[in-house]
């Protein structure tokens, strides 16, 4: 049985077991602009992606992002109201049993290394 539209080897199907029912927060590195497309291709359910509000608001693309129910976010320094609304939307989506994906590094990477974490 395939995990989604792609016929994946068995280990990947087991890894996708979380996505068959119930809420899940997917947290992963963002290595390229196709990351979201690949995740959507292998998931048997829709995934709501949290994305930077400046990208979300791009002309024409904004229509597409709204259709896939992406969740725009901004830092509290840029727009505290957008940040607060993003947290509300993520909470609501998870309460409703949806899948939500975040890329905590905040952008795609050109190297295989992760951004160094910094104390809050």
The three-class DSSP label of residue 71 is strand
Cα-based torsion angle of the residue sequence 2, 104, 108, 87 in order, rounded to the nearest 10 degrees: 90
Structural tokens at position 91: 């909470």
Nearest to 117 by CA among 106, 93, 87: 106
Structural tokens at position 63: 């229509």
pLDDT of residue 28: 87
pTM of the shown model = 0.75
Characterise 22 by phi-psi region: left (phi > 0), alpha (psi -120 to 50), beta (else): left
Domain ranges of the chain: 22-102
**Distance between the two ends of the chain, CA-based, in angstroms?**
44
CB 81 within 8 A of CB 60: no
pLDDT tens per residue, range 16-42: 555 578 999 999 888 887 889 999 998
Which residue stretches of the chain have pLDDT < 70?
1-19, 106-120
């Amino acid at each position: 049985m395939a995990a989604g539209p792609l016929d994946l080897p068995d280990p990947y199907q087991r890894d996708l077991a979380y996505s068959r029912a119930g809420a899940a927060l997917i947290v992963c590195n963002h290595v390229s602009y196709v990351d979201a497309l690949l995740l959507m291709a292998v998931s048997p359910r829709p995934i709501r992606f949290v994305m930077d509000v400046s990208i979300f608001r791009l002309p024409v693309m904004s229509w597409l992002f709204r259709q896939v129910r992406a969740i725009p976010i901004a830092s509290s320094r840029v727009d505290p109201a957008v940040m607060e609304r993003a947290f509300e939307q993520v909470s609501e989506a998870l309460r409703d049993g949806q899948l939500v994906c975040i890329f905590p590094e905040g952008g795609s990477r050109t190297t295989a290394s992760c951004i160094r974490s910094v104390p809050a």
